[in-house]
Structure 1
Amino acid sequence: KQAIDLAREIRKSKSIILFSPASASFEKFKNEFDRGRKFNFYIKNLLKNI
């Protein structure tokens, strides 16, 4: 969520933002599916507010 919020703040018009995980997140999510669902949730909310 922090990375998505920061990208929204600093993005330029019509720019492309690539999110690529650089570290493990074993303790933050139940599994890879939980991580994916939360990522999709935040991205969908971001797109609604652009």
Structure 2
Amino acid sequence: MARPKIAGVVTVYRKYSHAQHIIDRFLEGYGWNGTHYHPPMDLGSLYVDQ
């Protein structure tokens, strides 16, 4: 079964922006309680409109 794909729609994407922190969790996963997790979905596209 294929993993579902999601899209990111943001107004700004730069280092230390809120969007960068959230999107990075989908791209690289995240640590929680000493364990590294990968979300059960993939980021299929990213739309940035300033």
Q: State the TM-score, normalized to the length of structure 1.
A: 0.32
Q: State the TM-score, normalized to the length of structure 2.
A: 0.32
**Which is helix-richer, 1 or 2?**
1
**Which is strand-richer, 1 or 2?**
2
